[in-house]
Amino acid sequence: MTHQAPLTFAPEVRDALDRGLPVVALESTIITHGMPWPQNLEMAEKVEAVIREGGAVPATIAVMGGRIHIGLTPEALRALAQTPPAEAMKLSRADLAVCIANGRTGATTVAATMICAHLAGIKVFATGGIGGVHRGAETSFDISADLQELAQTPVTVVAAGAKAILDLPKTWEVLETLGVPVIAYGQDELPAFWSRASGIKAPLRMDSPQEIAAAAAMRAALGLRGGQLVANPIPEADEIAQDQIMPVIEQALSEAAAQGIAAKAVTPFLLGRIFELTEGRSLDSNIALVLNNARLAARIASAMAA
Ligand code: PSU
Ligand code: MN
Protein backbone atom coordinates (compact mmCIF):
# COMPACT_ATOMS: atom_id res chain seq x y z
CA MET A 1 0.00 0.00 0.00
CA THR A 2 1.40 3.40 -0.87
CA HIS A 3 0.36 6.64 0.70
CA GLN A 4 0.60 10.21 -0.42
CA ALA A 5 1.30 12.88 2.18
CA PRO A 6 -2.14 14.11 3.31
CA LEU A 7 -1.75 17.82 2.66
CA THR A 8 -4.67 20.23 2.63
CA PHE A 9 -3.75 23.61 1.16
CA ALA A 10 -5.55 26.87 1.81
CA PRO A 11 -6.60 27.98 -1.71
CA GLU A 12 -4.57 31.18 -1.43
CA VAL A 13 -1.40 29.26 -0.52
CA ARG A 14 -1.91 26.68 -3.30
CA ASP A 15 -2.38 29.48 -5.81
CA ALA A 16 0.72 31.38 -4.65
CA LEU A 17 2.88 28.23 -4.82
CA ASP A 18 1.57 27.37 -8.29
CA ARG A 19 2.46 30.85 -9.49
CA GLY A 20 5.88 30.96 -7.82
CA LEU A 21 4.89 33.78 -5.50
CA PRO A 22 6.53 34.23 -2.08
CA VAL A 23 5.08 32.11 0.74
CA VAL A 24 6.18 32.04 4.40
CA ALA A 25 5.42 29.05 6.65
CA LEU A 26 4.51 29.54 10.31
CA GLU A 27 4.50 27.01 13.15
CA SER A 28 1.63 26.24 15.51
CA THR A 29 3.28 24.98 18.73
CA ILE A 30 4.00 28.60 19.57
CA ILE A 31 0.20 29.09 19.43
CA THR A 32 -0.90 26.06 21.50
CA HIS A 33 2.05 25.59 23.85
CA GLY A 34 4.11 28.78 23.66
CA MET A 35 1.65 31.55 24.49
CA PRO A 36 -1.55 31.89 26.55
CA TRP A 37 -5.01 32.57 25.14
CA PRO A 38 -5.99 35.14 23.84
CA GLN A 39 -2.59 36.68 23.15
CA ASN A 40 -1.71 33.60 21.12
CA LEU A 41 -4.52 34.28 18.63
CA GLU A 42 -3.68 37.99 18.45
CA MET A 43 -0.06 37.08 17.71
CA ALA A 44 -1.03 34.49 15.09
CA GLU A 45 -3.32 36.94 13.30
CA LYS A 46 -0.82 39.80 13.45
CA VAL A 47 2.02 37.65 12.16
CA GLU A 48 -0.07 36.65 9.14
CA ALA A 49 -0.94 40.32 8.51
CA VAL A 50 2.73 41.35 8.69
CA ILE A 51 3.64 38.72 6.11
CA ARG A 52 0.92 39.97 3.77
CA GLU A 53 2.14 43.56 4.22
CA GLY A 54 5.55 42.26 3.21
CA GLY A 55 4.13 40.97 -0.07
CA ALA A 56 4.09 37.25 0.80
CA VAL A 57 1.36 34.73 1.60
CA PRO A 58 1.34 33.28 5.15
CA ALA A 59 0.90 29.53 5.63
CA THR A 60 0.32 28.56 9.25
CA ILE A 61 0.87 24.81 9.53
CA ALA A 62 -0.92 22.36 11.86
CA VAL A 63 -2.28 18.81 11.83
CA MET A 64 -6.04 18.73 12.15
CA GLY A 65 -8.25 15.68 11.89
CA GLY A 66 -5.38 13.62 10.54
CA ARG A 67 -4.37 15.99 7.73
CA ILE A 68 -1.51 18.46 7.44
CA HIS A 69 -3.01 21.87 6.87
CA ILE A 70 -0.84 24.29 4.91
CA GLY A 71 -2.54 27.59 5.69
CA LEU A 72 -5.46 27.85 8.12
CA THR A 73 -8.80 29.59 7.77
CA PRO A 74 -9.47 32.32 10.38
CA GLU A 75 -11.91 29.90 12.09
CA ALA A 76 -9.38 27.07 12.21
CA LEU A 77 -6.73 29.42 13.59
CA ARG A 78 -9.11 30.52 16.35
CA ALA A 79 -10.06 26.94 17.19
CA LEU A 80 -6.41 25.94 17.42
CA ALA A 81 -5.59 28.92 19.65
CA GLN A 82 -8.41 27.89 22.00
CA THR A 83 -7.25 24.28 22.23
CA PRO A 84 -5.76 23.63 25.69
CA PRO A 85 -2.12 22.45 25.53
CA ALA A 86 -3.14 19.08 27.00
CA GLU A 87 -5.49 18.41 24.06
CA ALA A 88 -3.16 19.22 21.17
CA MET A 89 -0.16 16.98 20.56
CA LYS A 90 3.16 18.81 20.40
CA LEU A 91 4.52 17.37 17.17
CA SER A 92 8.13 16.93 16.23
CA ARG A 93 9.69 14.55 13.67
CA ALA A 94 9.08 11.59 16.00
CA ASP A 95 5.31 11.98 16.40
CA LEU A 96 4.14 13.60 13.17
CA ALA A 97 3.21 10.40 11.33
CA VAL A 98 1.53 8.82 14.36
CA CYS A 99 -0.65 11.87 14.88
CA ILE A 100 -1.74 11.88 11.24
CA ALA A 101 -2.28 8.12 11.03
CA ASN A 102 -4.48 8.25 14.14
CA GLY A 103 -6.56 11.10 12.73
CA ARG A 104 -5.60 13.36 15.59
CA THR A 105 -4.88 17.07 15.97
CA GLY A 106 -1.47 18.43 16.77
CA ALA A 107 0.62 21.56 16.70
CA THR A 108 3.88 21.53 14.78
CA THR A 109 7.19 22.51 16.39
CA VAL A 110 10.01 23.99 14.35
CA ALA A 111 11.14 20.50 13.30
CA ALA A 112 7.69 19.30 12.20
CA THR A 113 6.87 22.62 10.53
CA MET A 114 10.08 22.37 8.47
CA ILE A 115 9.11 18.86 7.35
CA CYS A 116 5.60 19.97 6.35
CA ALA A 117 6.81 23.18 4.69
CA HIS A 118 9.26 21.17 2.60
CA LEU A 119 6.54 18.68 1.59
CA ALA A 120 4.44 21.65 0.51
CA GLY A 121 7.26 23.31 -1.44
CA ILE A 122 7.73 26.26 0.93
CA LYS A 123 11.32 27.42 1.45
CA VAL A 124 11.06 30.02 4.23
CA PHE A 125 9.65 29.74 7.73
CA ALA A 126 9.36 32.35 10.49
CA THR A 127 9.16 31.58 14.21
CA GLY A 128 10.16 33.00 17.59
CA GLY A 129 13.03 30.88 18.79
CA ILE A 130 14.19 27.41 17.85
CA GLY A 131 14.60 24.62 20.38
CA GLY A 132 18.16 23.64 21.27
CA VAL A 133 20.43 22.10 23.85
CA HIS A 134 18.86 22.37 27.29
CA ARG A 135 20.97 23.28 30.29
CA GLY A 136 22.05 20.09 32.00
CA ALA A 137 21.89 18.19 28.70
CA GLU A 138 25.11 16.43 29.71
CA THR A 139 22.96 14.40 32.12
CA SER A 140 19.40 14.74 30.70
CA PHE A 141 20.35 14.34 27.01
CA ASP A 142 17.58 16.88 26.26
CA ILE A 143 18.50 18.29 22.86
CA SER A 144 15.67 19.54 20.64
CA ALA A 145 15.02 17.66 17.41
CA ASP A 146 14.88 21.13 15.80
CA LEU A 147 18.67 21.02 15.47
CA GLN A 148 18.77 17.74 13.53
CA GLU A 149 15.97 18.98 11.32
CA LEU A 150 17.92 22.08 10.36
CA ALA A 151 20.70 19.70 9.33
CA GLN A 152 18.54 17.72 6.93
CA THR A 153 15.55 19.68 5.63
CA PRO A 154 16.10 22.51 3.12
CA VAL A 155 14.12 25.34 4.70
CA THR A 156 15.45 28.75 5.78
CA VAL A 157 14.27 29.37 9.35
CA VAL A 158 14.11 32.93 10.67
CA ALA A 159 14.25 33.06 14.49
CA ALA A 160 15.49 35.46 17.15
CA GLY A 161 18.20 32.99 18.07
CA ALA A 162 17.61 30.04 20.36
CA LYS A 163 15.50 30.64 23.43
CA ALA A 164 17.64 32.03 26.23
CA ILE A 165 16.33 29.32 28.58
CA LEU A 166 18.69 26.97 26.76
CA ASP A 167 22.42 26.44 26.93
CA LEU A 168 23.23 28.79 24.07
CA PRO A 169 26.95 28.03 23.61
CA LYS A 170 26.18 24.29 23.44
CA THR A 171 23.33 24.93 21.01
CA TRP A 172 25.61 26.81 18.62
CA GLU A 173 28.31 24.12 18.95
CA VAL A 174 25.84 21.38 17.99
CA LEU A 175 24.61 23.38 14.99
CA GLU A 176 28.20 23.81 13.85
CA THR A 177 28.81 20.06 14.21
CA LEU A 178 25.67 19.35 12.18
CA GLY A 179 26.80 21.71 9.43
CA VAL A 180 23.98 24.20 9.81
CA PRO A 181 24.78 27.76 8.68
CA VAL A 182 23.95 30.10 11.57
CA ILE A 183 23.63 33.59 10.13
CA ALA A 184 23.26 36.64 12.37
CA TYR A 185 21.23 39.29 10.60
CA GLY A 186 22.71 42.78 10.62
CA GLN A 187 25.05 42.35 13.60
CA ASP A 188 28.24 40.50 14.52
CA GLU A 189 26.86 38.89 17.66
CA LEU A 190 24.26 36.15 17.95
CA PRO A 191 21.02 37.42 19.47
CA ALA A 192 19.55 35.69 22.55
CA PHE A 193 15.78 35.78 21.94
CA TRP A 194 14.58 38.41 24.46
CA SER A 195 17.89 40.31 24.19
CA ARG A 196 19.87 41.50 21.18
CA ALA A 197 23.18 40.62 22.79
CA SER A 198 24.48 37.23 23.85
CA GLY A 199 28.19 37.86 24.10
CA ILE A 200 28.71 35.14 21.48
CA LYS A 201 30.18 36.05 18.11
CA ALA A 202 28.11 34.79 15.19
CA PRO A 203 29.79 32.29 12.86
CA LEU A 204 28.25 34.09 9.86
CA ARG A 205 26.70 37.49 9.27
CA MET A 206 24.47 38.77 6.48
CA ASP A 207 22.86 42.15 5.94
CA SER A 208 20.27 41.64 3.22
CA PRO A 209 17.48 39.21 2.28
CA GLN A 210 19.10 38.82 -1.17
CA GLU A 211 22.31 37.42 0.34
CA ILE A 212 20.30 34.94 2.42
CA ALA A 213 18.31 33.83 -0.63
CA ALA A 214 21.51 33.41 -2.65
CA ALA A 215 23.10 31.33 0.12
CA ALA A 216 20.10 28.98 0.18
CA ALA A 217 20.25 28.57 -3.59
CA MET A 218 23.99 27.84 -3.41
CA ARG A 219 23.48 25.17 -0.74
CA ALA A 220 21.07 23.44 -3.11
CA ALA A 221 23.46 23.86 -6.07
CA LEU A 222 26.24 22.24 -4.04
CA GLY A 223 23.98 19.35 -3.13
CA LEU A 224 24.30 20.13 0.59
CA ARG A 225 21.44 18.80 2.65
CA GLY A 226 19.65 20.87 5.20
CA GLY A 227 18.47 24.39 5.82
CA GLN A 228 19.90 27.51 7.33
CA LEU A 229 19.16 29.43 10.48
CA VAL A 230 18.82 33.20 10.30
CA ALA A 231 19.22 34.69 13.79
CA ASN A 232 17.39 38.01 13.67
CA PRO A 233 17.83 40.29 16.71
CA ILE A 234 14.70 41.54 18.47
CA PRO A 235 14.09 45.29 17.84
CA GLU A 236 15.82 47.50 20.40
CA ALA A 237 12.56 49.00 21.67
CA ASP A 238 11.18 45.57 22.58
CA GLU A 239 14.18 43.83 24.12
CA ILE A 240 14.66 42.82 27.74
CA ALA A 241 18.30 43.31 28.66
CA GLN A 242 20.26 40.17 29.52
CA ASP A 243 20.93 41.23 33.12
CA GLN A 244 17.17 41.62 33.65
CA ILE A 245 15.98 38.40 32.04
CA MET A 246 18.74 36.09 33.31
CA PRO A 247 17.72 36.02 37.02
CA VAL A 248 14.13 35.28 35.92
CA ILE A 249 15.31 32.42 33.72
CA GLU A 250 17.42 31.04 36.58
CA GLN A 251 14.41 31.05 38.88
CA ALA A 252 12.16 29.34 36.33
CA LEU A 253 14.84 26.73 35.68
CA SER A 254 15.28 25.90 39.37
CA GLU A 255 11.51 25.59 39.79
CA ALA A 256 11.36 23.24 36.81
CA ALA A 257 14.11 21.11 38.37
CA ALA A 258 12.42 21.10 41.78
CA GLN A 259 9.11 20.00 40.22
CA GLY A 260 10.71 17.34 38.06
CA ILE A 261 9.49 18.88 34.77
CA ALA A 262 10.97 16.85 31.90
CA ALA A 263 10.92 16.15 28.16
CA LYS A 264 8.31 17.98 26.07
CA ALA A 265 6.92 19.80 29.09
CA VAL A 266 10.14 21.73 29.77
CA THR A 267 9.89 24.49 27.16
CA PRO A 268 6.18 25.31 27.74
CA PHE A 269 6.70 25.28 31.54
CA LEU A 270 9.65 27.67 31.39
CA LEU A 271 7.95 30.08 28.98
CA GLY A 272 4.84 30.09 31.20
CA ARG A 273 6.80 30.79 34.39
CA ILE A 274 8.89 33.51 32.77
CA PHE A 275 5.64 35.13 31.58
CA GLU A 276 4.33 35.15 35.17
CA LEU A 277 7.59 36.31 36.72
CA THR A 278 7.96 39.23 34.27
CA GLU A 279 4.25 40.12 34.62
CA GLY A 280 3.72 39.63 30.93
CA ARG A 281 6.73 41.55 29.66
CA SER A 282 8.38 38.44 28.28
CA LEU A 283 5.26 37.78 26.20
CA ASP A 284 5.20 41.32 24.77
CA SER A 285 8.82 40.87 23.72
CA ASN A 286 8.13 37.41 22.35
CA ILE A 287 5.30 38.74 20.17
CA ALA A 288 7.43 41.66 18.95
CA LEU A 289 10.29 39.40 17.92
CA VAL A 290 7.99 36.99 16.08
CA LEU A 291 6.54 39.91 14.08
CA ASN A 292 10.04 41.16 13.35
CA ASN A 293 11.04 37.70 12.11
CA ALA A 294 7.92 37.48 9.94
CA ARG A 295 8.83 40.79 8.30
CA LEU A 296 12.31 39.55 7.43
CA ALA A 297 11.01 36.15 6.29
CA ALA A 298 8.61 37.84 3.86
CA ARG A 299 11.55 39.77 2.37
CA ILE A 300 13.64 36.60 2.08
CA ALA A 301 10.76 34.72 0.43
CA SER A 302 10.34 37.62 -2.01
CA ALA A 303 14.07 37.58 -2.81
CA MET A 304 13.89 33.82 -3.44
CA ALA A 305 10.86 34.22 -5.72
CA ALA A 306 12.46 37.05 -7.72
N1 PSU B 1 9.52 29.63 19.95
C2 PSU B 1 8.75 30.34 20.79
N3 PSU B 1 7.84 29.66 21.54
C4 PSU B 1 7.69 28.31 21.43
C5 PSU B 1 8.52 27.56 20.55
C6 PSU B 1 9.42 28.30 19.85
O7 PSU B 1 8.87 31.56 20.86
O8 PSU B 1 6.81 27.76 22.09
C9 PSU B 1 8.38 26.05 20.39
C10 PSU B 1 8.80 25.70 18.97
O11 PSU B 1 7.75 24.98 18.38
C12 PSU B 1 10.04 24.84 19.12
C13 PSU B 1 9.71 24.15 20.41
O14 PSU B 1 10.23 23.97 18.05
O15 PSU B 1 9.19 25.22 21.22
C16 PSU B 1 10.92 23.48 21.02
O17 PSU B 1 10.49 22.50 21.91
P18 PSU B 1 11.51 21.39 22.45
O19 PSU B 1 12.52 22.18 23.25
O20 PSU B 1 10.67 20.48 23.31
O21 PSU B 1 12.09 20.71 21.27
MN1 MN C 1 13.31 18.46 24.47
Q: How confident is the model over 16-72, as pLDDT tens digits?
A: 999 999 999 999 999 999 999 999 999 999 999 999 999 999 999 999 999 999 999
145 is in an annotated binding site: yes
Question: Does residue 80 carry a pLDDT above 70?
Answer: yes
Ligand 1 atom closest to 142 (CA): 19
Question: Does residue 4 carry a pLDDT above 90?
Answer: no
18 is in an annotated binding site: no
Whether ligand 1 lies within 6 angstroms of the CB of 191 is answered as no
Q: For residue 287, what are the contacts with CB-CB under 8 A and spacing of at least 6?
A: 35, 39, 42, 43, 46
CA nearest ligand 1 atom 17, residue: 131
Q: For residue 178, what are the contacts with CB-CB under 8 A and spacing of at least 6?
A: 147, 148, 150, 151, 226
Question: Does residue 1 carry a pLDDT above 60?
Answer: no
Query: Is 178 in contact with 132 (CB distance < 8 Å)?
Result: no
Q: How does pLDDT run across 243-288, given as a tens digit for each residue? A: 999 999 999 999 999 999 988 999 899 999 999 999 999 999 999 9
Ligand 1 atom closest to 34 (CA): 8
pTM beyond 0.75: yes
27 belongs to the catalytic site: yes
258 is in an annotated binding site: no
Domains parsed from the chain with CATH numbers:
1-122 (3.40.1790.10), 123-306 (3.40.1790.10)
239 belongs to the catalytic site: no
Q: In angstroms, rounded to a whole number, what is the distance separating the alpha carbons of residues 229 and 148?
A: 12
